[in-house]
Amino acid sequence: MGFLNDILGLFSNVMFISWQQVIMWIIGGVLIYLAIKKDMEPTLLLPMGFGAILVNLPISGAVDRYYMNGVWIKDLAEGKALFEAGTAGVTYEPGVIDELFNMGIANELFPLILFIGIGAMIDFGPLLSNPKLMIFGAAAQFGIFFTLSLASFLGFDLKDAASIAIIGAADGPTSIFVANYFGSNYMGAIMVAAYSYMALVPVVQPPVIKLLTTKKERMIRMPYKPANVTKMTRILFPIVITAITGIFSPKSVALIGFLMFGNLIRECGVLDSLSETAQKVLANLITIFLGITIATKMQAEMFLTWQTLMIIGLGLVAFIFDTAGGVMVAKLINLFLPKNKKLNPMIGAAGISAFPMSARVVHKMGLKEDNQNFLLMHSIGVNVSGQIASVIAGGLILTMIGG
């Protein structure tokens, strides 16, 4: 009998499975499905999906656990509070994913290192060739500030509203950096929304663009006449951008600095092997850990709330108003341009940072209206400017709200 009880005891963990955890397994499975079958941001959604299952197993050894006299405390927040208050009999076992979170995300290390890789991947040539395109990168950050107000209106406190709004940066590392800076409780939901909408840019943007433009506007052709960009300009650009942005938005120095450091490695011409490592090995390594580490914020008790649904909705609003901001500013500028110099307002939509999906969307929409309308180089220029603008927007939010 004792032997039988011992055997049954091995499976006692089954008793701790909750319906909320089962829902999180399904959500994890959906993320993995979207990553593999639909090719939606697989580098992030797959680790996040697997991580969501991992951290939602009963008494998961992957995340921090608290015990009262050897009995697991189901409520994570309660266990943590009791442990921190020094309650007698309360013990703590660290989990590897929480350890990774403390080492790599709580101190903002992972998103910043990832930015070196992203900086090394970006060719700012089309932007340097036509710097005026940066205006659209700025305009397409409107969704961030609109969502900040809307999230506050819906009851989120200002710092959580700012963390949610930054989904509109369409830039994962910036979203992680800002949400972590503000200590947001909704980081898991924010990350899922940010990366999902980045993958859904080809679905989200076209209806908004079509709604705001006429067929005639979408057919406007823009000849591409690239200006010469010297190697010296390419080398000085990351240094100058870091200095300017750092002076006016000091809290974005780390973000823009690491992005531009990566770009300087790329453009200097003498560090090709480092550039290649940053683009591939470094970026891949960090991405592996980033996705699975974020999953610690996808534990059922934190994730399955009404707020998560609201955050998913607010993320969509941010992307829609980013797109609208870019398109509307292009239309506004067109009012002052001569008839033969009009801009195709669709390129404004590429100002969101989702690179290169947004540029491709605009290019394809141009071709759909007129098969000789090639907007790719313009939209790529706007799209890379969105990368810089989203970091500046993140820095401004930190400066204004972070105090």
Partner 1 sequence: MFDVNVLLSTLPYMAKGMIGIFVVTALIVLSVVILNKVTSLGGSKNDQGNNNNN
Interface positions with partner 1 (CB under 8 A): 121, 123, 125, 127-129, 131-132, 134-135, 137-138, 141-142, 144-146, 148-150, 152-155, 158, 161, 226-234, 236-237, 240-241, 244-245, 248-249, 266-267, 269, 272, 275-276, 279, 385, 388-389, 392-393, 396-397, 400-401
Nearer to partner 1, 16 or 248 (CB): 248
CB of 280 to partner 1, least distance (A): 10
Dist CA 336 CA 49 (whole Å): 49
Report in angstroms how near the CB of residue 39 gets to partner 1 at its nearest. 22
Given the complex with partner 1, which of 21 and 279 has the nearer CB atom? 279
Residue 183 vs 269, nearer CB to partner 1: 269
Query: CB burial class (10 A; 0-12, 13-18, 19+) of residue 185?
Result: middle
Q: How far is the CB of 385 from partner 1 (least distance, A)?
A: 8
CA distance 78 to 218: 56
Least distance from partner 1 to the Cβ atom of residue 22, Å: 30
Tokens of 119: 């900086």
Burial-class residue 367 by CB neighbours within 10 Å (0-12, 13-18, 19+).
middle
The nearer residue to partner 1, 170 or 200, going by C-beta atoms, is 170
Where residue 25 falls (left for φ over 0; alpha for ψ -120 to 50; beta otherwise) is: alpha
Name the one residue in this structure whose structure tokens are 């999180």.
24
Task: State whether the Cα torsion 315-318-319-321 is positive or negative.
Answer: positive
Q: Give min distance, CB of 344 to partner 1, in A.
A: 20
Check if the beta carbon of residue 291 is closer than 8 Å to that of residue 45.
Answer: yes
Select 90 or 166, whichever has its Cβ closest to partner 1: 166
Longest pairwise C-alpha distance within the chain: 92
CB of 379 to partner 1, least distance (A): 17
In whole angstroms, the minimum distance from the beta carbon of 98 to partner 1 comes to 32
Q: Which is nearer to partner 1, 38 or 132 (CB)?
A: 132
Contact (CB, 8 A) for 175 and 194: yes
Asked whether the bond before 356 is cis by omega within 30 degrees of 0, the reply is: yes
Residue 58 vs 125, nearer CB to partner 1: 125
> What is the C-alpha to C-alpha distance for residues 319 and 6, in angstroms, rounded to an integer?
55
